Structure 1
Amino acid sequence: MSNSYSYKLCGGPVAIQSVTLFDDKNDWREAALCRDTSPELFFPVGNTGNALDAISLAKTVCRRCTSQQECLEYALDSNQDSGVWGGRSEEERRHIRRQRVLSSKAN
Structure 2
Amino acid sequence: MKTGLFLLVLALAGCGKTAATTSPLDAAARRTCTDTIESRAVNRSSISYASDDPAIVKSAQGQLEVAIKFSAKNEIGMASTMMARCTVSPDGKTLVEIAVKEGL
Say which structure, 1 or 2, has more relative contact order (CA 8 Å, 6+ apart).
2
State if a TM-score over 0.5 links the two structures: no
Identify the structure with the greater helix proportion.
1
**Length-normalised TM-score, structure 1:** 0.28
Higher share of residues assigned strand: 2
